[in-house]
Amino acid sequence: MKIKELIPWRIRHLVDNYLENTIRSRYPHYYKLIKFGKTNINTPDYWDKEWQSDSVQRSYDELFSLILERIEMNAQVIDIGAGIGRLSKLIKLERDAEVTCLDFSSWACSQLAEQGFQTVVSKLPEIPLPDNSFDIAVATEVFEHLDNPEKTLQQMARIVRSGGLVICSVPNDIFHPHEELEHQQSYTIDKIETMLAKLGGKVTVKTGKFTPESKYEFILGIVEIA
């Protein structure tokens, strides 16, 4: 018999309610540690399964159009947290760009490699590539999943040439860590502007809807690397 089964069901019920209704909302990282044995549930195995089931929909027309506006033809681009490459494929098609895809899901990278993309399997914030390798580094809906997004941002800036761009997008003050358990962070416009300003270049921030019918907004931040 399991130890949990020796505890009266009413006590178990009270503990479960307290965990779900109090700990989850106030201390989401502790909640995940108790519930899953880790404070961040984003792992390569987790995302291998997510991408294989194609349960993650990331075709955001307005967001992707705004990103494409800032990418010149034939640019060298790295897509950080590329997943199965919806944005990567669009950049390659619309801008005839040379696109490198980085993700910690080896399954996702293997699919993209079969389609002719250069791929790098790595867990952020590590980006195991040389300085000044790309014209643009882009990360869409990635920073909210990370324990240390600022280190990732610094790595993105490191691999971008002078005059290039670092581009990122995140949900706009929605899907907080207690609501969306994949998320470690939540963001506002001010928070994104402050993060990007630390890189020292000109910062541009825009917002828009994920889909035309959605009430949820994204924040798009762009910094020009000096």
Whether 215 is covered by a domain: the verdict is: yes
* Tens of pLDDT, residues 110-125: 999 999 999 999 999 9
Q: For the chain, what is the mean pLDDT?
A: 92
Rounded to whole angstroms, the Cα distance separating 99 from 97 reads 6
Q: How far apart are CA 59 and CA 178, in angstroms?
A: 25
Question: What pLDDT score does 48 carry?
Answer: 94
Q: Is the domain of 146 the same as that of 174?
A: yes
For 78-120, the DSSP string reads EEET-TT-HHHHHHHHHH--EEEEEES-HHHHHHHHHTT-EEE
**Mean pLDDT score, 141-149:** 96
Domain membership of residue 46 (yes or no) is no
| CA end-to-end span of the chain | 64
Both 74 and 185 in one domain: the answer is: yes
Same domain as 210, residue 111: yes
Say yes or no: 104 and 138 in one domain.
Answer: yes
pLDDT digits (tens, 9 = 90+) for 78-109: 999 999 999 999 999 999 999 999 999 999 99
In a domain, 17, yes or no: yes
Is residue 44 a part of any domain in this protein?
A: no
* Mean pLDDT calculated for residue range 58-86: 94
Q: Quick: pLDDT tens for 193-216.
A: 999 999 999 999 999 999 888 899
- What distance in Å separates the CA atoms of residue 151 and residue 134, rounded to the nearest whole number? 18
Q: Are residues 35 and 102 in the same domain?
A: no
Q: How far apart are CA 24 and CA 43, in angstroms?
A: 20
User: What digits encode the pLDDT tens for the residues 17-37?
Assistant: 877 889 999 999 999 999 999
> Which pLDDT belongs to residue 1?
45
Query: By residue range, what is the domain housing residue 77?
Result: 52-224
Query: What domain count does the chain have?
Result: 2
- For residue 55, pLDDT over 70 is answered with no
Tell me: pLDDT of 128 over 70. Answer: yes
Q: In angstroms, rounded to a whole number, what is the distance separating the alpha carbons of residues 60 and 165? A: 20
For the domain that residue 185 is a member of, what is the CATH number? Answer: 3.40.50.150
State the pLDDT at residue 14: 74
The larger pLDDT score, comparing residue 52 to residue 19, is at: 52
